[in-house]
Amino acid sequence: MMLAASEAAQRVDMNEVLEILIDRVAALPKDGQEEIVRSVVEIEQRHTGVYALDDDERADILEALAEIERGDVASDDEAAPLFERLRGEVR
């Protein structure tokens, strides 16, 4: 796919900005760098349609599936008041 001239110019400018930001990120403490990496991965996943679970999310999902398998779920009657309350908050 060919880029229009203005789109190509914007991409070059954006790449220059990204290179500057990478240098700035390199000067941050490790915690800051890790936060930025997580943010970039999250943005990439939103744009590519692929979401990678982290270990905590995977564990939560597996536990929820195990609860369902054991029958540890609320009945419709038990859940109804919660849904009614939530519907009231949305309106």
Reply yes or no on whether the pLDDT at 77 is more than 80. Answer: yes
On whether both 47 and 80 belong to a single domain, the answer is no
On whether both 57 and 80 belong to a single domain, the answer is yes
Write out the residue range of the structural domain in which residue 90 sits. Answer: 53-91
Structural domains of the chain, count: 2
What are the residues whose beta carbons fall under 8 Å from the beta carbon of 33, sequence distance 6 or more?
25, 26
Other C-beta atoms closer than 10 Å to the C-beta of 73 total: 11
On whether both 45 and 76 belong to a single domain, the answer is no
On whether both 57 and 42 belong to a single domain, the answer is no
Q: How far is CA 71 from CA 36, 54, 74, in A?
A: 40, 26, 9
Are 73 and 84 within 8 A, CB to CB? no
Task: Give the pLDDT mean for 1-13.
Answer: 63
Task: Give the pLDDT mean for 47-74.
Answer: 90
On whether both 47 and 57 belong to a single domain, the answer is no
Per the listing, tokens 């270990």 go with 55
How much of the chain exceeds pLDDT 90, in percent?
Answer: 44
On whether both 5 and 46 belong to a single domain, the answer is yes
